[in-house]
Structure 1
Protein backbone atom coordinates (compact mmCIF):
# COMPACT_ATOMS: atom_id res chain seq x y z
CA UNK A 1 0.00 0.00 0.00
CA UNK A 2 1.39 3.38 -1.03
CA UNK A 3 0.99 6.10 1.60
CA UNK A 4 1.68 9.82 1.17
CA UNK A 5 2.05 11.68 4.47
CA UNK A 6 1.87 15.47 4.04
CA UNK A 7 3.33 17.34 6.99
CA UNK A 8 4.22 20.88 8.01
CA UNK A 9 5.50 20.05 11.48
CA UNK A 10 2.38 21.37 13.21
CA UNK A 11 0.65 19.61 16.09
CA UNK A 12 -2.08 18.48 13.68
CA UNK A 13 0.49 16.91 11.37
CA UNK A 14 2.03 15.16 14.36
CA UNK A 15 -1.39 13.67 15.13
CA UNK A 16 -1.51 12.36 11.55
CA UNK A 17 1.95 10.86 11.92
CA UNK A 18 0.98 9.19 15.19
CA UNK A 19 -2.16 7.74 13.61
CA UNK A 20 -0.13 6.31 10.73
CA UNK A 21 2.13 4.47 13.17
CA UNK A 22 -0.87 3.16 15.10
CA UNK A 23 -2.87 1.70 12.21
CA UNK A 24 -2.23 -2.00 11.41
CA UNK A 25 -0.72 -1.54 7.95
CA UNK A 26 0.24 -4.56 5.84
CA UNK A 27 3.93 -5.41 5.70
CA UNK A 28 4.05 -4.34 2.04
CA UNK A 29 3.81 -0.61 2.72
CA UNK A 30 5.49 2.26 0.92
CA UNK A 31 5.62 5.61 2.75
CA UNK A 32 6.57 8.99 1.31
CA UNK A 33 6.84 11.97 3.67
CA UNK A 34 6.00 15.20 1.84
CA UNK A 35 6.41 18.82 2.84
CA UNK A 36 5.42 21.74 0.62
CA UNK A 37 7.06 25.16 0.53
CA UNK A 38 3.89 27.16 0.06
CA UNK A 39 4.05 29.89 -2.59
CA UNK A 40 1.69 32.85 -2.05
CA UNK A 41 -0.79 33.74 -4.77
CA UNK A 42 -0.06 37.14 -6.35
CA UNK A 43 -3.11 39.31 -6.89
CA UNK A 44 -1.53 41.38 -9.68
CA UNK A 45 1.81 41.78 -11.50
CA UNK A 46 2.44 44.92 -9.48
CA UNK A 47 2.32 42.80 -6.34
CA UNK A 48 5.54 40.98 -7.28
CA UNK A 49 8.01 41.74 -4.46
CA UNK A 50 11.57 42.84 -5.09
CA UNK A 51 14.36 40.43 -4.06
CA UNK A 52 14.86 42.43 -0.87
CA UNK A 53 11.14 42.34 -0.05
CA UNK A 54 10.50 38.69 -0.92
CA UNK A 55 10.03 36.47 2.13
CA UNK A 56 12.51 33.66 2.55
CA UNK A 57 11.11 30.20 1.91
CA UNK A 58 10.83 28.23 5.13
CA UNK A 59 13.37 25.47 5.64
CA UNK A 60 11.29 22.29 5.64
CA UNK A 61 14.27 19.92 5.76
CA UNK A 62 14.25 19.69 9.59
CA UNK A 63 10.54 18.81 9.46
CA UNK A 64 11.12 16.07 6.89
CA UNK A 65 14.19 14.72 8.69
CA UNK A 66 12.40 14.54 12.03
CA UNK A 67 9.46 12.60 10.59
CA UNK A 68 11.68 10.25 8.58
CA UNK A 69 13.77 9.47 11.66
CA UNK A 70 10.66 8.80 13.72
CA UNK A 71 9.26 6.33 11.19
CA UNK A 72 12.63 4.64 10.69
CA UNK A 73 12.90 4.09 14.45
CA UNK A 74 9.62 2.15 14.21
CA UNK A 75 10.86 -0.08 11.39
CA UNK A 76 9.49 1.86 8.41
CA UNK A 77 11.55 2.70 5.32
CA UNK A 78 10.17 6.12 4.34
CA UNK A 79 11.25 8.38 1.52
CA UNK A 80 11.25 12.17 1.71
CA UNK A 81 9.89 14.64 -0.83
CA UNK A 82 9.87 18.46 -0.92
CA UNK A 83 7.80 20.42 -3.43
CA UNK A 84 7.15 24.12 -4.01
CA UNK A 85 3.81 25.66 -4.91
CA UNK A 86 0.27 25.85 -3.62
CA UNK A 87 -0.11 23.31 -0.85
CA UNK A 88 -3.24 21.40 -1.85
CA UNK A 89 -2.30 21.38 -5.53
CA UNK A 90 1.16 19.97 -4.82
CA UNK A 91 -0.17 17.30 -2.47
CA UNK A 92 -2.67 16.12 -5.08
CA UNK A 93 -0.05 16.26 -7.85
CA UNK A 94 2.41 14.23 -5.79
CA UNK A 95 -0.29 11.63 -5.09
CA UNK A 96 -1.00 11.32 -8.81
CA UNK A 97 2.67 10.99 -9.73
CA UNK A 98 3.33 8.39 -7.03
CA UNK A 99 0.08 6.47 -7.73
CA UNK A 100 -0.69 6.81 -4.04
CA UNK A 101 -3.35 4.67 -2.36
CA UNK A 102 -3.97 7.02 0.57
CA UNK A 103 -3.00 10.58 1.51
CA UNK A 104 -2.64 11.31 5.23
CA UNK A 105 -3.02 14.92 6.41
CA UNK A 106 -3.78 16.77 9.61
CA UNK A 107 -7.17 18.43 9.89
CA UNK A 108 -5.42 21.79 10.22
CA UNK A 109 -1.88 23.14 10.17
CA UNK A 110 0.29 26.13 10.88
CA UNK A 111 -1.32 29.56 10.89
CA UNK A 112 -0.09 32.86 9.51
CA UNK A 113 2.46 33.18 6.73
CA UNK A 114 3.68 29.61 7.20
CA UNK A 115 0.26 28.03 7.01
CA UNK A 116 0.15 24.69 5.22
CA UNK A 117 -2.58 22.27 6.17
CA UNK A 118 -5.33 24.68 7.13
CA UNK A 119 -8.84 23.33 7.05
CA UNK A 120 -9.34 24.78 3.57
CA UNK A 121 -6.26 22.95 2.26
CA UNK A 122 -7.31 19.64 3.80
CA UNK A 123 -10.75 20.08 2.27
CA UNK A 124 -9.25 20.79 -1.16
CA UNK A 125 -7.13 17.65 -0.88
CA UNK A 126 -10.23 15.67 0.06
CA UNK A 127 -12.14 17.10 -2.92
CA UNK A 128 -9.51 16.68 -5.64
CA UNK A 129 -7.37 13.75 -4.49
CA UNK A 130 -7.20 10.82 -6.92
CA UNK A 131 -7.19 8.39 -4.02
CA UNK A 132 -8.44 7.87 -0.48
CA UNK A 133 -7.71 10.54 2.14
CA UNK A 134 -7.02 10.03 5.84
CA UNK A 135 -7.72 13.21 7.82
CA UNK A 136 -6.30 12.97 11.32
CA UNK A 137 -7.92 14.70 14.26
CA UNK A 138 -6.96 14.42 17.90
CA UNK A 139 -9.83 12.88 19.90
CA UNK A 140 -11.28 15.01 22.67
CA UNK A 141 -9.93 12.59 25.26
CA UNK A 142 -6.25 12.77 26.09
CA UNK A 143 -4.47 10.36 23.80
CA UNK A 144 -6.22 7.67 21.78
CA UNK A 145 -8.34 4.82 23.10
CA UNK A 146 -6.73 1.40 23.14
CA UNK A 147 -7.43 -0.93 21.45
CA UNK A 148 -8.03 0.85 18.15
CA UNK A 149 -11.77 1.40 17.67
CA UNK A 150 -12.99 1.86 14.08
CA UNK A 151 -16.48 2.75 12.87
CA UNK A 152 -17.11 1.55 9.32
CA UNK A 153 -20.07 3.25 7.60
CA UNK A 154 -21.64 0.81 5.15
CA UNK A 155 -24.57 1.05 2.73
CA UNK A 156 -23.75 -1.49 0.03
CA UNK A 157 -22.56 1.11 -2.51
CA UNK A 158 -19.36 0.63 -4.57
CA UNK A 159 -17.43 3.09 -2.38
CA UNK A 160 -18.69 1.35 0.77
CA UNK A 161 -17.46 -1.96 -0.66
CA UNK A 162 -14.13 -0.25 -1.42
CA UNK A 163 -13.98 0.84 2.22
CA UNK A 164 -14.46 -2.78 3.31
CA UNK A 165 -11.74 -3.90 0.89
CA UNK A 166 -9.39 -1.25 2.27
CA UNK A 167 -10.10 -2.28 5.85
CA UNK A 168 -9.53 -5.97 5.13
CA UNK A 169 -6.24 -5.14 3.39
CA UNK A 170 -4.88 -4.04 6.77
CA UNK A 171 -3.29 -6.43 9.24
CA UNK A 172 -6.33 -6.54 11.51
CA UNK A 173 -5.99 -8.43 14.79
CA UNK A 174 -7.58 -8.70 18.21
CA UNK A 175 -6.33 -5.21 19.07
CA UNK A 176 -8.79 -3.71 16.56
CA UNK A 177 -12.48 -3.28 17.40
CA UNK A 178 -14.84 -2.57 14.49
CA UNK A 179 -18.43 -1.30 14.48
CA UNK A 180 -20.16 -1.57 11.08
CA UNK A 181 -23.02 0.92 10.87
CA UNK A 182 -25.78 1.34 8.30
CA UNK A 183 -28.25 4.24 8.42
CA UNK A 184 -31.72 4.18 6.91
CA UNK A 185 -33.06 7.67 6.28
CA UNK A 186 -36.43 8.59 7.78
CA UNK A 187 -38.72 11.19 6.22
CA UNK A 188 -40.00 12.95 9.34
CA UNK A 189 -41.93 15.85 7.81
CA UNK A 190 -45.68 15.54 8.44
CA UNK A 191 -44.78 12.35 10.35
CA UNK A 192 -44.23 10.53 7.08
CA UNK A 193 -41.90 8.22 9.00
CA UNK A 194 -44.92 6.45 10.53
CA UNK A 195 -46.20 5.38 7.12
CA UNK A 196 -42.67 4.87 5.85
CA UNK A 197 -41.55 2.40 8.52
CA UNK A 198 -44.73 0.32 8.31
CA UNK A 199 -44.68 -0.06 4.53
CA UNK A 200 -43.70 -3.41 2.95
CA UNK A 201 -40.99 -1.70 0.88
CA UNK A 202 -39.35 -0.30 4.04
CA UNK A 203 -39.41 -3.70 5.71
CA UNK A 204 -37.86 -5.25 2.61
CA UNK A 205 -35.14 -2.58 2.55
CA UNK A 206 -34.52 -3.13 6.24
CA UNK A 207 -34.11 -6.86 5.77
CA UNK A 208 -31.74 -6.24 2.86
CA UNK A 209 -29.69 -3.91 5.07
CA UNK A 210 -29.51 -6.57 7.80
CA UNK A 211 -28.40 -9.14 5.22
CA UNK A 212 -25.60 -6.84 4.02
CA UNK A 213 -24.45 -6.20 7.58
CA UNK A 214 -24.39 -9.94 8.31
CA UNK A 215 -22.28 -10.53 5.20
CA UNK A 216 -19.76 -7.83 6.13
CA UNK A 217 -19.63 -9.05 9.73
CA UNK A 218 -18.73 -12.58 8.60
CA UNK A 219 -16.02 -11.22 6.32
CA UNK A 220 -14.43 -9.06 9.01
CA UNK A 221 -14.67 -11.77 11.66
CA UNK A 222 -12.28 -13.87 9.59
CA UNK A 223 -9.64 -11.32 10.63
CA UNK A 224 -10.76 -10.20 14.10
CA UNK A 225 -13.49 -11.39 16.44
CA UNK A 226 -14.12 -7.88 17.74
CA UNK A 227 -16.81 -6.93 15.21
CA UNK A 228 -20.24 -5.46 15.90
CA UNK A 229 -22.96 -4.38 13.47
CA UNK A 230 -25.61 -1.73 13.92
CA UNK A 231 -28.62 -0.61 11.88
CA UNK A 232 -29.79 2.90 12.74
CA UNK A 233 -32.76 4.93 11.54
CA UNK A 234 -32.80 8.72 11.48
CA UNK A 235 -33.59 11.87 9.56
CA UNK A 236 -29.95 12.87 9.00
CA UNK A 237 -27.51 10.04 8.13
CA UNK A 238 -24.40 12.06 8.91
CA UNK A 239 -25.65 12.89 12.41
CA UNK A 240 -26.49 9.24 13.03
CA UNK A 241 -22.93 8.30 12.08
CA UNK A 242 -21.48 11.00 14.33
CA UNK A 243 -23.65 9.88 17.25
CA UNK A 244 -22.65 6.25 16.67
CA UNK A 245 -18.96 7.18 16.56
CA UNK A 246 -19.21 9.11 19.81
CA UNK A 247 -21.08 6.32 21.59
CA UNK A 248 -18.55 3.76 20.33
CA UNK A 249 -15.63 6.02 21.35
CA UNK A 250 -14.22 5.58 17.85
CA UNK A 251 -10.69 6.70 17.07
CA UNK A 252 -11.36 6.42 13.34
CA UNK A 253 -14.41 6.62 11.05
CA UNK A 254 -14.13 4.95 7.64
CA UNK A 255 -16.60 6.20 5.02
CA UNK A 256 -17.04 5.95 1.28
CA UNK A 257 -16.68 9.10 -0.79
CA UNK A 258 -20.18 8.71 -2.21
CA UNK A 259 -22.99 6.28 -1.55
CA UNK A 260 -26.40 5.01 -2.53
CA UNK A 261 -29.24 7.22 -3.68
CA UNK A 262 -32.88 6.96 -2.73
CA UNK A 263 -34.59 6.18 0.55
CA UNK A 264 -31.65 4.29 2.07
CA UNK A 265 -28.92 6.68 1.03
CA UNK A 266 -26.01 6.85 3.45
CA UNK A 267 -22.71 8.03 2.07
CA UNK A 268 -23.58 10.77 -0.38
CA UNK A 269 -20.81 13.29 -0.85
CA UNK A 270 -22.54 15.80 1.43
CA UNK A 271 -22.82 13.18 4.18
CA UNK A 272 -19.15 12.24 3.99
CA UNK A 273 -18.21 15.93 3.98
CA UNK A 274 -20.27 16.66 7.10
CA UNK A 275 -18.76 13.66 8.87
CA UNK A 276 -15.27 14.94 8.07
CA UNK A 277 -16.10 18.43 9.34
CA UNK A 278 -17.80 17.40 12.57
CA UNK A 279 -16.33 14.04 13.59
CA UNK A 280 -14.79 13.87 17.08
CA UNK A 281 -12.02 11.67 15.70
CA UNK A 282 -10.01 10.94 12.56
CA UNK A 283 -11.82 10.12 9.30
CA UNK A 284 -10.70 7.95 6.38
CA UNK A 285 -12.61 8.81 3.19
CA UNK A 286 -12.28 5.96 0.68
CA UNK A 287 -12.59 6.31 -3.07
CA UNK A 288 -13.53 3.31 -5.20
Structure 2
Protein backbone atom coordinates (compact mmCIF):
# COMPACT_ATOMS: atom_id res chain seq x y z
CA UNK A 1 0.00 0.00 0.00
CA UNK A 2 1.09 3.54 -0.80
CA UNK A 3 0.44 6.41 1.66
CA UNK A 4 0.73 10.18 1.40
CA UNK A 5 1.89 11.61 4.74
CA UNK A 6 1.28 15.37 5.08
CA UNK A 7 3.34 17.44 7.51
CA UNK A 8 3.86 21.11 8.37
CA UNK A 9 7.11 20.26 10.22
CA UNK A 10 5.61 21.39 13.53
CA UNK A 11 6.25 19.65 16.84
CA UNK A 12 2.86 17.95 16.51
CA UNK A 13 3.77 16.59 13.06
CA UNK A 14 7.08 15.37 14.37
CA UNK A 15 5.39 13.55 17.26
CA UNK A 16 3.22 11.58 14.83
CA UNK A 17 5.90 10.86 12.24
CA UNK A 18 8.55 9.76 14.71
CA UNK A 19 6.26 7.55 16.82
CA UNK A 20 7.55 3.99 16.38
CA UNK A 21 4.24 2.39 17.36
CA UNK A 22 2.30 4.42 14.78
CA UNK A 23 4.78 3.48 12.06
CA UNK A 24 4.59 -0.18 13.08
CA UNK A 25 0.77 -0.06 12.85
CA UNK A 26 0.98 1.32 9.31
CA UNK A 27 3.33 -1.49 8.36
CA UNK A 28 0.99 -4.10 9.83
CA UNK A 29 -1.92 -3.03 7.62
CA UNK A 30 0.26 -3.23 4.51
CA UNK A 31 1.73 0.26 4.01
CA UNK A 32 5.21 -0.10 2.53
CA UNK A 33 5.66 3.12 0.55
CA UNK A 34 5.24 6.69 1.87
CA UNK A 35 5.19 10.03 0.06
CA UNK A 36 6.12 12.74 2.57
CA UNK A 37 4.49 16.05 1.59
CA UNK A 38 4.81 19.57 2.95
CA UNK A 39 3.04 22.56 1.44
CA UNK A 40 4.45 26.09 1.36
CA UNK A 41 1.42 28.43 1.40
CA UNK A 42 0.98 30.53 -1.73
CA UNK A 43 1.25 33.78 0.26
CA UNK A 44 4.79 32.90 1.44
CA UNK A 45 7.40 34.13 -1.04
CA UNK A 46 11.09 33.34 -1.38
CA UNK A 47 11.91 37.07 -1.22
CA UNK A 48 10.35 37.53 2.21
CA UNK A 49 12.77 38.38 5.02
CA UNK A 50 13.96 35.44 7.08
CA UNK A 51 14.54 31.78 6.33
CA UNK A 52 14.25 30.18 2.89
CA UNK A 53 11.02 28.27 3.58
CA UNK A 54 11.37 25.70 0.83
CA UNK A 55 14.94 24.80 1.74
CA UNK A 56 14.05 24.62 5.41
CA UNK A 57 11.19 22.27 4.64
CA UNK A 58 13.37 20.07 2.46
CA UNK A 59 15.81 19.65 5.34
CA UNK A 60 12.93 18.79 7.66
CA UNK A 61 11.55 16.21 5.24
CA UNK A 62 15.00 14.66 4.84
CA UNK A 63 15.15 14.15 8.60
CA UNK A 64 11.70 12.50 8.65
CA UNK A 65 12.66 10.46 5.60
CA UNK A 66 15.55 8.95 7.55
CA UNK A 67 13.20 7.96 10.38
CA UNK A 68 10.73 6.28 8.03
CA UNK A 69 13.37 4.52 5.97
CA UNK A 70 14.83 3.23 9.22
CA UNK A 71 11.40 1.76 9.97
CA UNK A 72 11.45 -0.12 6.65
CA UNK A 73 9.41 2.14 4.36
CA UNK A 74 10.28 3.31 0.84
CA UNK A 75 10.06 7.11 1.01
CA UNK A 76 9.75 9.97 -1.48
CA UNK A 77 9.55 13.64 -0.47
CA UNK A 78 7.59 16.52 -2.01
CA UNK A 79 7.83 20.26 -1.25
CA UNK A 80 5.03 22.04 -3.09
CA UNK A 81 3.28 25.43 -3.11
CA UNK A 82 -0.41 26.18 -2.91
CA UNK A 83 -3.43 25.54 -0.72
CA UNK A 84 -2.49 22.63 1.58
CA UNK A 85 -5.57 20.40 1.25
CA UNK A 86 -5.76 20.87 -2.53
CA UNK A 87 -2.09 20.06 -3.08
CA UNK A 88 -2.25 17.06 -0.71
CA UNK A 89 -5.27 15.69 -2.58
CA UNK A 90 -3.54 16.33 -5.89
CA UNK A 91 -0.44 14.38 -4.92
CA UNK A 92 -2.53 11.53 -3.50
CA UNK A 93 -4.36 11.31 -6.82
CA UNK A 94 -1.17 11.57 -8.91
CA UNK A 95 0.76 8.84 -7.09
CA UNK A 96 -2.36 6.61 -6.79
CA UNK A 97 -2.12 6.58 -3.02
CA UNK A 98 -4.15 4.12 -0.97
CA UNK A 99 -4.49 6.54 1.93
CA UNK A 100 -3.57 10.00 3.17
CA UNK A 101 -2.32 10.62 6.71
CA UNK A 102 -2.42 13.96 8.51
CA UNK A 103 -1.87 14.91 12.13
CA UNK A 104 -4.42 17.04 13.92
CA UNK A 105 -4.85 18.69 17.29
CA UNK A 106 -8.62 18.65 16.88
CA UNK A 107 -10.31 21.99 17.49
CA UNK A 108 -7.03 23.87 17.30
CA UNK A 109 -6.90 27.65 16.87
CA UNK A 110 -4.26 27.15 14.17
CA UNK A 111 -6.08 27.99 10.95
CA UNK A 112 -3.47 27.97 8.19
CA UNK A 113 -1.36 24.92 8.96
CA UNK A 114 -1.62 21.23 8.24
CA UNK A 115 -2.09 20.62 11.97
CA UNK A 116 -5.35 22.55 12.08
CA UNK A 117 -8.07 23.39 9.60
CA UNK A 118 -6.48 21.38 6.78
CA UNK A 119 -7.54 18.12 8.43
CA UNK A 120 -11.16 19.23 8.31
CA UNK A 121 -10.83 20.41 4.69
CA UNK A 122 -9.36 17.04 3.77
CA UNK A 123 -12.24 15.29 5.51
CA UNK A 124 -14.59 17.11 3.16
CA UNK A 125 -12.62 16.65 -0.08
CA UNK A 126 -10.28 13.67 0.25
CA UNK A 127 -9.90 11.44 -2.81
CA UNK A 128 -8.56 8.44 -0.85
CA UNK A 129 -9.09 7.07 2.67
CA UNK A 130 -7.91 9.64 5.21
CA UNK A 131 -6.32 8.89 8.59
CA UNK A 132 -6.47 11.85 10.98
CA UNK A 133 -3.86 11.07 13.62
CA UNK A 134 -4.77 12.91 16.83
CA UNK A 135 -1.93 14.70 18.60
CA UNK A 136 -1.85 16.24 22.07
CA UNK A 137 -2.73 19.93 22.28
CA UNK A 138 -1.19 22.64 24.41
CA UNK A 139 2.19 20.98 24.97
CA UNK A 140 5.67 22.07 23.92
CA UNK A 141 6.55 18.44 23.21
CA UNK A 142 3.21 16.92 22.16
CA UNK A 143 2.58 13.19 21.96
CA UNK A 144 0.26 11.06 19.87
CA UNK A 145 -2.86 10.47 21.96
CA UNK A 146 -3.65 6.92 20.80
CA UNK A 147 -0.58 5.48 19.13
CA UNK A 148 -1.97 1.95 18.54
CA UNK A 149 -3.77 3.32 15.51
CA UNK A 150 -6.15 0.48 14.66
CA UNK A 151 -6.10 -1.70 17.79
CA UNK A 152 -9.62 -0.72 18.92
CA UNK A 153 -12.06 0.54 16.29
CA UNK A 154 -15.44 2.24 16.60
CA UNK A 155 -17.44 1.76 13.39
CA UNK A 156 -20.62 3.88 13.07
CA UNK A 157 -22.84 2.76 10.19
CA UNK A 158 -26.08 3.89 8.59
CA UNK A 159 -26.01 0.76 6.34
CA UNK A 160 -25.47 2.91 3.23
CA UNK A 161 -23.08 2.11 0.36
CA UNK A 162 -20.52 4.50 1.81
CA UNK A 163 -20.74 2.78 5.17
CA UNK A 164 -20.26 -0.58 3.44
CA UNK A 165 -17.09 0.73 1.77
CA UNK A 166 -15.79 1.83 5.15
CA UNK A 167 -16.59 -1.59 6.62
CA UNK A 168 -14.61 -3.21 3.79
CA UNK A 169 -11.50 -1.46 5.17
CA UNK A 170 -11.50 -4.08 7.93
CA UNK A 171 -10.11 -6.46 5.28
CA UNK A 172 -6.69 -4.87 5.81
CA UNK A 173 -7.11 -3.04 9.12
CA UNK A 174 -7.85 -6.38 10.80
CA UNK A 175 -4.14 -7.18 10.82
CA UNK A 176 -3.76 -4.50 13.50
CA UNK A 177 -7.23 -4.69 15.11
CA UNK A 178 -8.10 -6.53 18.32
CA UNK A 179 -11.45 -5.00 19.30
CA UNK A 180 -14.34 -3.34 17.45
CA UNK A 181 -17.61 -1.67 18.39
CA UNK A 182 -20.28 -1.49 15.67
CA UNK A 183 -22.72 1.37 16.19
CA UNK A 184 -25.96 2.49 14.56
CA UNK A 185 -27.64 5.73 15.64
CA UNK A 186 -31.39 5.97 15.05
CA UNK A 187 -33.11 9.33 14.91
CA UNK A 188 -35.88 9.75 17.51
CA UNK A 189 -38.14 10.58 14.52
CA UNK A 190 -37.27 7.32 12.74
CA UNK A 191 -40.23 4.99 13.20
CA UNK A 192 -39.17 2.45 10.56
CA UNK A 193 -38.08 -0.94 11.84
CA UNK A 194 -37.08 -1.54 15.44
CA UNK A 195 -33.94 -1.73 17.54
CA UNK A 196 -33.88 -5.52 17.43
CA UNK A 197 -33.91 -5.57 13.63
CA UNK A 198 -31.06 -3.06 13.59
CA UNK A 199 -29.11 -5.05 16.15
CA UNK A 200 -29.44 -8.15 13.95
CA UNK A 201 -27.90 -6.25 11.02
CA UNK A 202 -25.00 -5.20 13.21
CA UNK A 203 -24.60 -8.75 14.49
CA UNK A 204 -24.30 -10.03 10.91
CA UNK A 205 -21.45 -7.57 10.35
CA UNK A 206 -19.88 -8.55 13.66
CA UNK A 207 -19.80 -12.23 12.67
CA UNK A 208 -17.18 -11.61 9.99
CA UNK A 209 -15.01 -9.66 12.41
CA UNK A 210 -15.31 -12.40 15.02
CA UNK A 211 -14.14 -14.89 12.39
CA UNK A 212 -11.02 -12.72 12.08
CA UNK A 213 -10.50 -12.99 15.85
CA UNK A 214 -11.63 -9.42 16.48
CA UNK A 215 -13.54 -9.13 19.76
CA UNK A 216 -16.69 -7.30 18.61
CA UNK A 217 -19.69 -5.70 20.31
CA UNK A 218 -22.73 -4.00 18.79
CA UNK A 219 -24.67 -0.99 20.01
CA UNK A 220 -27.86 0.80 18.91
CA UNK A 221 -28.47 4.35 20.14
CA UNK A 222 -31.03 7.06 19.52
CA UNK A 223 -30.32 10.76 19.09
CA UNK A 224 -28.19 13.11 17.04
CA UNK A 225 -25.67 10.98 15.08
CA UNK A 226 -22.56 13.08 15.74
CA UNK A 227 -23.37 13.52 19.42
CA UNK A 228 -24.04 9.81 19.92
CA UNK A 229 -20.86 8.80 18.08
CA UNK A 230 -18.80 11.10 20.30
CA UNK A 231 -20.62 9.82 23.40
CA UNK A 232 -19.84 6.23 22.40
CA UNK A 233 -16.21 7.14 21.82
CA UNK A 234 -16.02 8.51 25.35
CA UNK A 235 -17.41 5.25 26.72
CA UNK A 236 -15.39 2.68 24.73
CA UNK A 237 -12.20 4.78 24.08
CA UNK A 238 -11.33 3.33 20.65
CA UNK A 239 -7.99 4.01 19.01
CA UNK A 240 -9.78 5.08 15.84
CA UNK A 241 -13.27 5.88 14.58
CA UNK A 242 -13.76 4.28 11.16
CA UNK A 243 -16.53 5.71 9.00
CA UNK A 244 -17.61 6.51 5.47
CA UNK A 245 -17.50 9.99 4.00
CA UNK A 246 -19.42 11.32 1.05
CA UNK A 247 -16.46 13.46 -0.03
CA UNK A 248 -17.44 15.93 -2.75
CA UNK A 249 -20.83 14.38 -3.37
CA UNK A 250 -23.86 16.69 -3.50
CA UNK A 251 -25.41 14.37 -0.92
CA UNK A 252 -22.66 14.86 1.63
CA UNK A 253 -25.00 16.70 4.01
CA UNK A 254 -26.61 13.35 4.84
CA UNK A 255 -25.46 11.20 7.77
CA UNK A 256 -22.05 10.12 6.53
CA UNK A 257 -21.25 13.51 5.08
CA UNK A 258 -21.45 16.48 7.39
CA UNK A 259 -21.30 14.11 10.36
CA UNK A 260 -17.89 12.79 9.31
CA UNK A 261 -16.54 16.36 9.20
CA UNK A 262 -18.00 17.00 12.64
CA UNK A 263 -16.37 13.86 14.01
CA UNK A 264 -12.96 14.90 12.64
CA UNK A 265 -13.31 18.19 14.51
CA UNK A 266 -14.63 16.74 17.78
CA UNK A 267 -13.21 13.24 18.25
CA UNK A 268 -10.70 12.67 21.04
CA UNK A 269 -8.91 9.90 19.14
CA UNK A 270 -7.95 9.11 15.57
CA UNK A 271 -10.44 9.11 12.70
CA UNK A 272 -10.23 7.03 9.50
CA UNK A 273 -12.53 8.23 6.72
CA UNK A 274 -13.29 6.21 3.60
CA UNK A 275 -14.63 8.35 0.71
CA UNK A 276 -16.50 7.24 -2.41
CA UNK A 277 -14.34 5.76 -5.21
CA UNK A 278 -12.42 8.11 -7.47
CA UNK A 279 -14.34 9.25 -10.51
CA UNK A 280 -12.92 7.73 -13.69
TM-score (normalised: structure 2): 0.79
Render the CA deviation track for 1:112-158: whole Å, top value 9, x for unaligned.
Answer: 89x53142222222222212211111368985376922111122111
2:200 to 211, 214, 217: 211
2:238 to 245, 250, 254: 250
How far off is 1:219 after superposition? 1.2
Equivalent residue runs for 1:123-272 within 5 Å: 123-138=120-135, 143-144=145-146, 148-172=151-175, 176-187=178-189, 201-203=192-194, 206-234=195-223, 236-258=224-246, 267-272=255-260
Render the CA deviation track for 1:193-251: whole Å, top value 9, x for unaligned.
Answer: xxx6xx6x332xx34422321121111122223222211122x1111110111111112
Indicate if the aligned counterparts of 2:110 and 2:117 stay in contact, CA closer than 8 A.
no
Indicate if the aligned counterparts of 1:152 and 1:255 stay in contact, CA closer than 8 A.
yes
Indicate if the aligned counterparts of 1:36 and 1:85 stay in contact, CA closer than 8 A.
yes
How far off is 1:94 after superposition? 0.7
Q: Which moved more, 1:245-254 or 1:221-230?
A: 221-230
Render the CA deviation track for 1:59-95: whole Å, top value 9, x for unaligned.
Answer: 1122212222222222222222222222222111111
Say if 1:124 and 1:66 are closer, same or farther in 2 by CA, change over 3 A.
same
Is 2:85 the counterpart of 1:88? yes
Tell which structure's C-alpha radius of gyration is larger: 1
- The separation in 2 between residues aligned to 1:270 and 1:215, in whole angstroms, is 27
1:232 alignment partner, SS class: strand
Size of the aligned set, in residue pairs, is: 260
Indicate if the aligned counterparts of 1:151 and 1:254 stay in contact, CA closer than 8 A.
yes
Render the CA deviation track for 1:13-60: whole Å, top value 9, x for unaligned.
Answer: 23543445434643463321112222217xxxxxxx895769732411
Structure 1 stretches of 4+ with a deviation exceeding 4 A read 49-55, 108-113, 139-143
Is 2:127 the counterpart of 1:100? no
Say if 1:116 and 1:30 are closer, same or farther in 2 by CA, change over 3 A.
same
- The separation in 1 between residues aligned to 2:11 and 2:169, in whole angstroms, is 27
1:202 alignment partner, SS class: coil
Long gaps (5+) in structure 1: 42-48, 188-195, 260-264
Say if 1:180 and 1:20 are closer, same or farther in 2 by CA, change over 3 A.
farther
- Residue 140 of structure 2 is matched in structure 1 by none
TM-score (normalised: structure 1): 0.77
Say if 1:96 and 1:116 are closer, same or farther in 2 by CA, change over 3 A.
same
How far off is 1:181 after superposition? 1.1
Indicate if the aligned counterparts of 1:183 and 1:266 stay in contact, CA closer than 8 A.
no
Say if 1:209 and 1:16 are closer, same or farther in 2 by CA, change over 3 A.
farther
Equivalent residue runs for 1:13-32 within 5 Å: 13-17=13-17, 18=19, 19-23=22-26, 25-27=28-30, 29-32=32-35
Say if 1:52 and 1:255 are closer, same or farther in 2 by CA, change over 3 A.
closer
How far off is 1:256 after superposition? 0.8
- Residue 12 of structure 2 is matched in structure 1 by 12
Is 2:67 the counterpart of 1:70? yes
Long gaps (5+) in structure 2: 138-142, 248-252
